Structure 1
Amino acid sequence: MDILGSILNAMDKPPTISDKQRALMRKQREALQKREEEEKEKLRVFRETVEDQITKLMKDNSQQKHEFEPMEKVFRGIIHDVAEVAGLVAFSVGMDGDDRRVIVYKVEFQPCEEELAALRRGEEWDPEKAKALALQKEEEEAESKTTKDFVPSSDYKDKYERLIGKESAKDAARITQTNKQYGFVPSANKKDVRSIEQTLADLQSRKKMKLSHGNASEGNSSSQP
Protein backbone atom coordinates (compact mmCIF):
# COMPACT_ATOMS: atom_id res chain seq x y z
CA MET A 1 0.00 0.00 0.00
CA ASP A 2 1.30 3.42 -0.89
CA ILE A 3 1.76 6.26 1.59
CA LEU A 4 -1.31 8.22 0.43
CA GLY A 5 -3.55 5.21 0.86
CA SER A 6 -2.26 4.62 4.38
CA ILE A 7 -2.90 8.28 5.33
CA LEU A 8 -6.48 8.15 3.98
CA ASN A 9 -7.20 4.97 5.88
CA ALA A 10 -5.83 6.52 9.08
CA MET A 11 -8.11 9.60 8.80
CA ASP A 12 -11.54 9.64 10.40
CA LYS A 13 -14.33 9.14 7.92
CA PRO A 14 -16.95 11.95 7.69
CA PRO A 15 -20.03 11.34 9.77
CA THR A 16 -22.90 9.80 7.90
CA ILE A 17 -26.21 11.68 7.68
CA SER A 18 -29.29 9.66 8.15
CA ASP A 19 -32.42 10.05 6.07
CA LYS A 20 -34.19 11.54 9.09
CA GLN A 21 -31.57 14.27 9.44
CA ARG A 22 -31.73 15.04 5.73
CA ALA A 23 -35.48 15.43 5.93
CA LEU A 24 -35.16 17.78 8.95
CA MET A 25 -32.62 19.97 7.16
CA ARG A 26 -34.85 20.13 4.10
CA LYS A 27 -37.80 21.28 6.24
CA GLN A 28 -35.69 24.00 7.85
CA ARG A 29 -34.64 25.36 4.45
CA GLU A 30 -38.21 25.32 3.23
CA ALA A 31 -39.43 27.12 6.36
CA LEU A 32 -36.76 29.83 5.99
CA GLN A 33 -37.61 30.31 2.34
CA LYS A 34 -41.30 30.55 3.18
CA ARG A 35 -40.69 33.22 5.83
CA GLU A 36 -38.61 35.26 3.36
CA GLU A 37 -41.36 35.07 0.75
CA GLU A 38 -43.99 36.09 3.30
CA GLU A 39 -41.87 39.08 4.38
CA LYS A 40 -41.43 40.16 0.75
CA GLU A 41 -45.16 39.88 0.15
CA LYS A 42 -45.87 41.88 3.31
CA LEU A 43 -43.59 44.70 2.16
CA ARG A 44 -45.09 44.62 -1.33
CA VAL A 45 -48.63 44.98 0.04
CA PHE A 46 -47.51 47.77 2.35
CA ARG A 47 -45.92 49.64 -0.55
CA GLU A 48 -49.11 49.43 -2.56
CA THR A 49 -51.07 50.79 0.41
CA VAL A 50 -48.66 53.71 0.77
CA GLU A 51 -48.87 54.45 -2.96
CA ASP A 52 -52.68 54.61 -2.71
CA GLN A 53 -52.51 57.01 0.25
CA ILE A 54 -49.94 59.22 -1.48
CA THR A 55 -52.07 59.32 -4.64
CA LYS A 56 -55.12 60.44 -2.61
CA LEU A 57 -53.02 63.17 -0.98
CA MET A 58 -51.91 64.49 -4.37
CA LYS A 59 -55.44 64.52 -5.78
CA ASP A 60 -57.08 66.15 -2.75
CA ASN A 61 -56.54 69.91 -2.96
CA SER A 62 -57.80 70.39 0.61
CA GLN A 63 -55.01 68.23 2.05
CA GLN A 64 -51.56 69.62 2.77
CA LYS A 65 -49.97 66.55 4.35
CA HIS A 66 -50.52 62.96 5.37
CA GLU A 67 -49.24 61.59 8.67
CA PHE A 68 -48.59 57.86 8.98
CA GLU A 69 -48.79 55.82 12.13
CA PRO A 70 -45.58 55.03 14.06
CA MET A 71 -43.82 52.05 12.52
CA GLU A 72 -40.51 50.25 12.13
CA LYS A 73 -37.59 51.64 10.14
CA VAL A 74 -37.98 49.32 7.16
CA PHE A 75 -41.56 50.52 6.58
CA ARG A 76 -40.59 54.17 7.07
CA GLY A 77 -37.97 53.70 4.38
CA ILE A 78 -40.65 52.53 1.93
CA ILE A 79 -42.73 55.66 2.66
CA HIS A 80 -39.73 57.90 2.00
CA ASP A 81 -39.07 56.10 -1.28
CA VAL A 82 -42.68 56.36 -2.49
CA ALA A 83 -42.86 60.07 -1.54
CA GLU A 84 -39.64 60.83 -3.42
CA VAL A 85 -40.92 59.08 -6.54
CA ALA A 86 -44.16 61.08 -6.31
CA GLY A 87 -42.29 64.39 -5.98
CA LEU A 88 -43.35 65.03 -2.37
CA VAL A 89 -41.27 65.63 0.74
CA ALA A 90 -41.25 63.27 3.71
CA PHE A 91 -39.81 63.70 7.20
CA SER A 92 -39.35 61.19 10.00
CA VAL A 93 -40.43 62.83 13.24
CA GLY A 94 -40.81 61.87 16.87
CA MET A 95 -38.34 60.31 19.23
CA ASP A 96 -36.71 57.00 18.40
CA GLY A 97 -38.82 54.05 19.37
CA ASP A 98 -42.56 53.54 19.28
CA ASP A 99 -43.28 57.22 18.46
CA ARG A 100 -41.14 57.44 15.31
CA ARG A 101 -43.37 58.14 12.31
CA VAL A 102 -43.35 59.75 8.85
CA ILE A 103 -45.23 62.84 7.66
CA VAL A 104 -45.52 63.43 3.91
CA TYR A 105 -46.07 67.02 2.74
CA LYS A 106 -46.90 68.60 -0.55
CA VAL A 107 -43.90 70.64 -1.63
CA GLU A 108 -45.64 74.00 -1.25
CA PHE A 109 -46.71 73.18 2.32
CA GLN A 110 -43.51 71.71 3.74
CA PRO A 111 -42.81 72.87 7.33
CA CYS A 112 -40.39 75.58 8.40
CA GLU A 113 -37.21 74.71 10.27
CA GLU A 114 -38.70 75.62 13.67
CA GLU A 115 -41.77 73.43 13.14
CA LEU A 116 -39.69 70.53 11.85
CA ALA A 117 -37.32 70.78 14.82
CA ALA A 118 -40.27 70.68 17.25
CA LEU A 119 -41.79 67.64 15.50
CA ARG A 120 -38.48 65.80 15.55
CA ARG A 121 -38.29 66.38 19.31
CA GLY A 122 -41.72 64.81 19.64
CA GLU A 123 -43.42 68.12 20.47
CA GLU A 124 -46.67 69.49 19.10
CA TRP A 125 -46.22 72.49 16.83
CA ASP A 126 -48.12 75.59 17.99
CA PRO A 127 -47.77 78.59 15.60
CA GLU A 128 -49.06 81.08 18.18
CA LYS A 129 -46.62 79.83 20.78
CA ALA A 130 -43.80 80.05 18.24
CA LYS A 131 -44.68 83.69 17.50
CA ALA A 132 -44.69 84.50 21.23
CA LEU A 133 -41.28 82.87 21.70
CA ALA A 134 -39.86 84.77 18.71
CA LEU A 135 -41.19 88.07 20.14
CA GLN A 136 -39.71 87.25 23.54
CA LYS A 137 -36.34 86.52 21.93
CA GLU A 138 -36.38 89.88 20.12
CA GLU A 139 -37.17 91.70 23.37
CA GLU A 140 -34.33 89.91 25.18
CA GLU A 141 -31.87 90.83 22.41
CA ALA A 142 -33.01 94.47 22.53
CA GLU A 143 -32.64 94.51 26.32
CA SER A 144 -29.19 92.96 26.06
CA LYS A 145 -28.13 95.66 23.60
CA THR A 146 -29.44 98.37 25.94
CA THR A 147 -27.49 96.87 28.84
CA LYS A 148 -24.26 97.03 26.83
CA ASP A 149 -24.79 100.76 26.23
CA PHE A 150 -25.52 101.42 29.93
CA VAL A 151 -23.75 104.43 31.45
CA PRO A 152 -23.43 104.48 35.28
CA SER A 153 -25.23 107.37 36.95
CA SER A 154 -22.56 107.83 39.64
CA ASP A 155 -18.80 108.25 39.55
CA TYR A 156 -16.72 105.46 41.02
CA LYS A 157 -14.73 108.08 42.92
CA ASP A 158 -17.78 108.98 45.03
CA LYS A 159 -18.27 105.32 45.91
CA TYR A 160 -14.70 104.88 47.09
CA GLU A 161 -14.80 108.13 49.06
CA ARG A 162 -17.56 106.63 51.20
CA LEU A 163 -15.71 103.35 51.60
CA ILE A 164 -12.08 104.34 52.22
CA GLY A 165 -12.22 108.05 52.90
CA LYS A 166 -11.94 111.14 50.77
CA GLU A 167 -8.13 111.57 50.87
CA SER A 168 -7.41 107.89 50.21
CA ALA A 169 -9.85 107.89 47.31
CA LYS A 170 -8.15 110.90 45.78
CA ASP A 171 -4.77 109.17 46.05
CA ALA A 172 -6.14 106.02 44.40
CA ALA A 173 -7.75 108.03 41.62
CA ARG A 174 -4.55 109.92 41.04
CA ILE A 175 -2.63 106.65 40.72
CA THR A 176 -5.11 105.18 38.25
CA GLN A 177 -5.22 108.26 36.02
CA THR A 178 -3.24 108.12 32.81
CA ASN A 179 -0.06 110.21 32.81
CA LYS A 180 -0.63 112.42 29.79
CA GLN A 181 2.99 113.67 29.90
CA TYR A 182 4.41 110.16 29.67
CA GLY A 183 6.36 109.75 26.46
CA PHE A 184 5.65 113.33 25.30
CA VAL A 185 8.11 114.56 22.68
CA PRO A 186 7.91 118.03 21.07
CA SER A 187 6.82 117.94 17.44
CA ALA A 188 9.99 119.83 16.43
CA ASN A 189 12.02 116.82 17.59
CA LYS A 190 9.81 114.33 15.81
CA LYS A 191 9.72 115.90 12.33
CA ASP A 192 12.48 117.04 10.01
CA VAL A 193 11.41 120.53 8.93
CA ARG A 194 14.04 120.83 6.20
CA SER A 195 12.98 120.86 2.56
CA ILE A 196 14.09 118.15 0.14
CA GLU A 197 16.59 120.50 -1.55
CA GLN A 198 18.16 121.40 1.80
CA THR A 199 18.39 117.77 2.82
CA LEU A 200 20.12 116.79 -0.45
CA ALA A 201 22.50 119.72 -0.18
CA ASP A 202 23.44 118.71 3.39
CA LEU A 203 24.05 115.13 2.29
CA GLN A 204 26.30 116.21 -0.59
CA SER A 205 28.19 118.59 1.70
CA ARG A 206 28.79 115.79 4.21
CA LYS A 207 29.95 113.49 1.44
CA LYS A 208 32.43 116.07 0.14
CA MET A 209 33.78 116.67 3.64
CA LYS A 210 34.23 112.94 4.13
CA LEU A 211 36.10 112.62 0.82
CA SER A 212 38.34 115.60 1.56
CA HIS A 213 39.23 114.20 4.97
CA GLY A 214 40.00 110.87 3.40
CA ASN A 215 42.31 112.43 0.76
CA ALA A 216 44.09 114.46 3.41
CA SER A 217 44.69 111.33 5.47
CA GLU A 218 46.13 109.51 2.46
CA GLY A 219 48.46 112.49 1.68
CA ASN A 220 49.81 112.53 5.21
CA SER A 221 50.46 108.81 5.18
CA SER A 222 52.31 108.97 1.83
CA SER A 223 54.58 111.82 2.99
CA GLN A 224 55.91 109.77 5.91
CA PRO A 225 59.21 107.87 5.25
Structure 2
Amino acid sequence: MDLLGSILGSMAGPPSTTLSDKEKERRKVAKVYEEKMKARHRAEMEAFRTKMELEVEKFLKEDPPSSGAPSKTFPPMNQVQRSLLNEICEVAGLSAYSFGEEEVDRHVVMWKQEFLPSEEELACRRRGEKYDPKEIARRKELAKEEEKAAAAAEKAKAIESSSKVSRKTPAPSATYLNKFKGLLDTNSPEAVNAKKSYGMVSAESKKDKRTVEEVQAEIRAKKRAKLSVDGENEDS
Protein backbone atom coordinates (compact mmCIF):
# COMPACT_ATOMS: atom_id res chain seq x y z
CA MET A 1 0.00 0.00 0.00
CA ASP A 2 1.43 3.35 -0.99
CA LEU A 3 1.53 6.43 1.23
CA LEU A 4 -1.64 8.01 -0.21
CA GLY A 5 -3.60 4.85 0.31
CA SER A 6 -2.39 4.64 3.89
CA ILE A 7 -3.54 8.21 4.63
CA LEU A 8 -6.95 7.68 3.07
CA GLY A 9 -7.39 4.46 4.95
CA SER A 10 -6.65 6.12 8.29
CA MET A 11 -9.25 8.88 7.73
CA ALA A 12 -12.68 8.38 9.30
CA GLY A 13 -15.52 8.01 6.85
CA PRO A 14 -18.67 10.21 6.82
CA PRO A 15 -21.16 9.69 9.66
CA SER A 16 -23.84 7.20 8.98
CA THR A 17 -27.17 8.74 7.99
CA THR A 18 -29.06 5.56 8.52
CA LEU A 19 -31.46 5.82 11.51
CA SER A 20 -31.75 3.00 13.89
CA ASP A 21 -35.04 1.20 14.24
CA LYS A 22 -35.41 2.61 17.76
CA GLU A 23 -35.04 6.21 16.58
CA LYS A 24 -37.48 5.63 13.76
CA GLU A 25 -40.05 4.31 16.21
CA ARG A 26 -39.57 7.28 18.56
CA ARG A 27 -40.12 9.80 15.79
CA LYS A 28 -43.17 7.95 14.57
CA VAL A 29 -44.76 8.01 18.02
CA ALA A 30 -43.97 11.74 18.42
CA LYS A 31 -45.58 12.55 15.10
CA VAL A 32 -48.70 10.60 15.95
CA TYR A 33 -48.97 12.40 19.30
CA GLU A 34 -48.51 15.79 17.62
CA GLU A 35 -51.25 15.08 15.10
CA LYS A 36 -53.49 13.89 17.90
CA MET A 37 -52.93 17.12 19.90
CA LYS A 38 -53.63 19.24 16.84
CA ALA A 39 -56.86 17.40 16.19
CA ARG A 40 -57.84 17.76 19.83
CA HIS A 41 -57.10 21.51 19.77
CA ARG A 42 -59.14 21.95 16.60
CA ALA A 43 -62.03 20.07 18.17
CA GLU A 44 -61.83 22.21 21.30
CA MET A 45 -61.77 25.40 19.25
CA GLU A 46 -64.75 24.25 17.20
CA ALA A 47 -66.64 23.44 20.38
CA PHE A 48 -65.67 26.80 21.85
CA ARG A 49 -66.74 28.62 18.70
CA THR A 50 -70.10 26.86 18.69
CA LYS A 51 -70.63 27.69 22.36
CA MET A 52 -69.72 31.36 21.89
CA GLU A 53 -71.93 31.68 18.82
CA LEU A 54 -74.86 30.38 20.85
CA GLU A 55 -74.05 32.83 23.67
CA VAL A 56 -73.90 35.74 21.24
CA GLU A 57 -77.12 34.69 19.52
CA LYS A 58 -78.88 34.44 22.88
CA PHE A 59 -77.59 37.86 23.89
CA LEU A 60 -78.87 39.40 20.65
CA LYS A 61 -82.36 38.05 21.33
CA GLU A 62 -82.48 39.43 24.88
CA ASP A 63 -84.31 42.64 25.66
CA PRO A 64 -81.90 44.77 27.71
CA PRO A 65 -84.57 47.07 29.22
CA SER A 66 -86.39 44.11 30.76
CA SER A 67 -83.36 41.99 31.63
CA GLY A 68 -81.21 44.94 32.67
CA ALA A 69 -78.24 43.56 30.71
CA PRO A 70 -77.08 45.92 27.94
CA SER A 71 -73.74 44.09 28.07
CA LYS A 72 -72.46 40.59 28.71
CA THR A 73 -69.28 39.66 30.56
CA PHE A 74 -67.52 36.40 29.73
CA PRO A 75 -65.24 34.43 32.08
CA PRO A 76 -61.43 34.77 31.77
CA MET A 77 -60.01 33.35 28.52
CA ASN A 78 -56.66 32.90 26.87
CA GLN A 79 -55.56 35.06 23.96
CA VAL A 80 -56.66 32.58 21.26
CA GLN A 81 -60.14 32.27 22.74
CA ARG A 82 -60.51 36.04 23.10
CA SER A 83 -59.48 36.56 19.49
CA LEU A 84 -62.07 34.01 18.35
CA LEU A 85 -64.79 35.62 20.48
CA ASN A 86 -63.93 39.10 19.18
CA GLU A 87 -64.26 37.75 15.64
CA ILE A 88 -67.71 36.29 16.42
CA CYS A 89 -68.85 39.58 18.00
CA GLU A 90 -67.67 41.60 15.03
CA VAL A 91 -69.60 39.37 12.61
CA ALA A 92 -72.71 39.73 14.81
CA GLY A 93 -72.43 43.54 14.87
CA LEU A 94 -71.45 43.77 18.53
CA SER A 95 -68.65 45.70 20.19
CA ALA A 96 -66.27 43.71 22.38
CA TYR A 97 -63.49 44.90 24.69
CA SER A 98 -60.98 42.99 26.80
CA PHE A 99 -60.22 43.90 30.41
CA GLY A 100 -58.10 42.50 33.20
CA GLU A 101 -54.56 41.18 33.59
CA GLU A 102 -53.14 38.73 31.06
CA GLU A 103 -53.03 35.10 32.27
CA VAL A 104 -54.86 36.14 35.44
CA ASP A 105 -58.35 37.50 34.81
CA ARG A 106 -58.28 38.84 31.25
CA HIS A 107 -61.86 38.63 29.96
CA VAL A 108 -64.18 39.96 27.24
CA VAL A 109 -67.25 42.18 27.63
CA MET A 110 -69.58 42.74 24.68
CA TRP A 111 -72.20 45.44 24.06
CA LYS A 112 -74.95 46.02 21.56
CA GLN A 113 -74.44 49.00 19.27
CA GLU A 114 -77.30 50.95 20.85
CA PHE A 115 -75.77 50.51 24.32
CA LEU A 116 -72.11 51.25 23.62
CA PRO A 117 -70.04 52.06 26.73
CA SER A 118 -68.80 55.57 27.38
CA GLU A 119 -65.13 56.39 27.59
CA GLU A 120 -65.66 56.89 31.30
CA GLU A 121 -66.98 53.34 31.72
CA LEU A 122 -64.17 51.87 29.62
CA ALA A 123 -61.58 53.73 31.68
CA CYS A 124 -63.22 52.52 34.89
CA ARG A 125 -63.18 48.89 33.72
CA ARG A 126 -59.58 49.16 32.54
CA ARG A 127 -58.63 50.23 36.06
CA GLY A 128 -60.26 47.10 37.36
CA GLU A 129 -63.07 49.00 39.06
CA LYS A 130 -66.75 48.19 39.06
CA TYR A 131 -68.69 50.67 36.96
CA ASP A 132 -71.58 52.21 38.90
CA PRO A 133 -73.25 55.19 37.13
CA LYS A 134 -74.84 56.46 40.35
CA GLU A 135 -71.55 56.31 42.22
CA ILE A 136 -69.77 58.01 39.33
CA ALA A 137 -72.38 60.81 39.33
CA ARG A 138 -72.02 61.20 43.09
CA ARG A 139 -68.24 61.47 42.79
CA LYS A 140 -68.58 64.05 40.02
CA GLU A 141 -70.93 66.17 42.12
CA LEU A 142 -68.61 65.91 45.10
CA ALA A 143 -65.64 66.91 42.94
CA LYS A 144 -67.57 69.96 41.64
CA GLU A 145 -68.45 71.04 45.18
CA GLU A 146 -64.85 70.67 46.29
CA GLU A 147 -63.71 72.68 43.27
CA LYS A 148 -66.22 75.46 44.04
CA ALA A 149 -65.16 75.51 47.70
CA ALA A 150 -61.50 75.74 46.70
CA ALA A 151 -62.26 78.58 44.26
CA ALA A 152 -64.24 80.46 46.92
CA ALA A 153 -61.43 80.04 49.44
CA GLU A 154 -58.89 81.28 46.90
CA LYS A 155 -61.06 84.30 46.10
CA ALA A 156 -61.51 85.14 49.78
CA LYS A 157 -57.77 84.84 50.29
CA ALA A 158 -57.12 87.20 47.38
CA ILE A 159 -59.62 89.74 48.75
CA GLU A 160 -58.04 89.58 52.19
CA SER A 161 -54.55 90.09 50.74
CA SER A 162 -55.79 93.04 48.67
CA SER A 163 -57.43 94.57 51.75
CA LYS A 164 -54.19 94.30 53.73
CA VAL A 165 -52.27 96.01 50.94
CA SER A 166 -54.89 98.79 50.78
CA ARG A 167 -54.59 99.43 54.52
CA LYS A 168 -50.81 99.61 54.32
CA THR A 169 -50.65 101.85 51.22
CA PRO A 170 -52.09 105.41 51.77
CA ALA A 171 -54.52 106.75 49.22
CA PRO A 172 -53.14 109.21 46.62
CA SER A 173 -55.11 112.12 48.07
CA ALA A 174 -53.89 111.37 51.58
CA THR A 175 -50.31 111.15 50.31
CA TYR A 176 -50.69 114.54 48.64
CA LEU A 177 -52.14 116.13 51.76
CA ASN A 178 -49.41 114.67 53.93
CA LYS A 179 -46.78 115.98 51.54
CA PHE A 180 -48.08 119.57 51.77
CA LYS A 181 -49.39 119.36 55.31
CA GLY A 182 -46.84 121.92 56.50
CA LEU A 183 -47.98 124.38 53.87
CA LEU A 184 -51.65 123.90 54.59
CA ASP A 185 -51.14 124.56 58.28
CA THR A 186 -51.49 128.38 58.44
CA ASN A 187 -49.66 128.62 61.74
CA SER A 188 -46.62 126.62 60.66
CA PRO A 189 -43.37 128.39 59.70
CA GLU A 190 -43.43 126.68 56.31
CA ALA A 191 -46.86 128.11 55.54
CA VAL A 192 -45.87 131.62 56.57
CA ASN A 193 -42.71 131.54 54.46
CA ALA A 194 -44.58 130.12 51.48
CA LYS A 195 -47.26 132.81 51.70
CA LYS A 196 -44.69 135.54 51.94
CA SER A 197 -42.80 134.23 48.93
CA TYR A 198 -45.99 134.25 46.86
CA GLY A 199 -47.13 137.69 48.12
CA MET A 200 -49.95 136.30 50.14
CA VAL A 201 -51.42 138.40 52.98
CA SER A 202 -52.84 136.73 55.98
CA ALA A 203 -56.48 137.19 56.84
CA GLU A 204 -55.47 138.80 60.11
CA SER A 205 -53.47 141.44 58.23
CA LYS A 206 -56.42 142.17 55.96
CA LYS A 207 -58.68 143.27 58.86
CA ASP A 208 -59.31 147.07 59.16
CA LYS A 209 -59.15 147.86 62.90
CA ARG A 210 -59.85 151.66 62.55
CA THR A 211 -63.02 153.28 63.86
CA VAL A 212 -65.53 155.08 61.66
CA GLU A 213 -64.42 158.50 62.95
CA GLU A 214 -60.79 157.69 62.17
CA VAL A 215 -61.70 156.61 58.66
CA GLN A 216 -63.77 159.77 58.03
CA ALA A 217 -61.00 162.01 59.42
CA GLU A 218 -58.47 160.28 57.16
CA ILE A 219 -60.73 160.82 54.14
CA ARG A 220 -61.18 164.53 54.96
CA ALA A 221 -57.45 164.93 55.39
CA LYS A 222 -56.82 163.36 52.01
CA LYS A 223 -59.37 165.72 50.40
CA ARG A 224 -57.78 168.79 52.00
CA ALA A 225 -54.38 167.68 50.87
CA LYS A 226 -55.67 167.15 47.37
CA LEU A 227 -57.35 170.61 47.29
CA SER A 228 -54.20 172.23 48.55
CA VAL A 229 -52.13 170.57 45.84
CA ASP A 230 -54.63 171.59 43.17
CA GLY A 231 -54.59 175.26 44.40
CA GLU A 232 -50.85 175.43 44.25
CA ASN A 233 -50.89 174.13 40.73
CA GLU A 234 -53.36 176.84 39.65
CA ASP A 235 -51.27 179.65 41.21
CA SER A 236 -48.22 178.55 39.38
State the TM bucket, normalised to the shorter chain. Answer: 0.5 to 0.7
- Where does residue 159 of structure 2 map in the other structure? 151
Aligned mate of 1:61, from 42, 60, 63: 63
In the TM superposition, residue 102 of structure 1 has moved relative to its aligned partner by 0.7
> Quick check: 62-71 or 40-49, which moved more?
62-71
- Please identify, of 139-148 and 56-65, the stretch whose mean Cα deviation from structure 2 is larger: 139-148
**1:132 corresponds to:** 138
Superposed CA RMSD: 2.9
Q: How many residue pairs end up in the alignment? A: 158
Q: Is the 8 A contact 1:95 1:122 kept in 2?
A: no
Match of 1:43 in 2: 45
Whether contact under 8 Å (1:93, 1:101) holds in the other structure is yes
CA distance in 2, matches of 1:55, 1:157: 75
| Aligned partner letter, 2:41 | E
Partner amino acid for 2:87? D
Q: Distance in 1 between matches of 2:138 and 2:62?
A: 33
1:21 maps to 2:30? no
Structure 2 CA distance for partners of 1:134 and 1:99, relative to 1, 3 Å: same
Gaps in structure 2 of 5+ consecutive residues: 169-236
Unpaired runs of at least 5, structure 1: 160-225
TM-score, normalised via structure 2 length: 0.58
Residue aligning to 1:177: none
Asked if 2 retains the 8 angstrom alpha-carbon contact of 1:95 and 1:120, the reply is no
Q: Which residue of 1 aligns with 2:86?
A: 80
Verify the 8 A CA contact 1:47 1:78 in the aligned structure 2.
Answer: yes
Once the two structures are superposed, residues 94-141 of structure 1 have per-residue CA deviations (whole angstroms, 9 ceiling, x without a partner) of 333432211111111122122222222222112211011111222233
Which residue of structure 1 aligns with residue 54 of structure 2? 52
Residue 197 of structure 2 is matched in structure 1 by none
Counterpart AA for 1:12: P
Q: Among residues 118, 123, 128, which one is paired with 1:117 in the alignment? A: 123
**CA spacing shift, 1:140–1:97, aligned 2, 3 Å:** farther
Deviation at 1:156, TM superposition (A): 4.5
Give distance in 1, aligned partners of 2:114 and 2:146.
33
1:95 alignment counterpart: 101
Deviates more, 1:60-69 or 1:140-149: 140-149
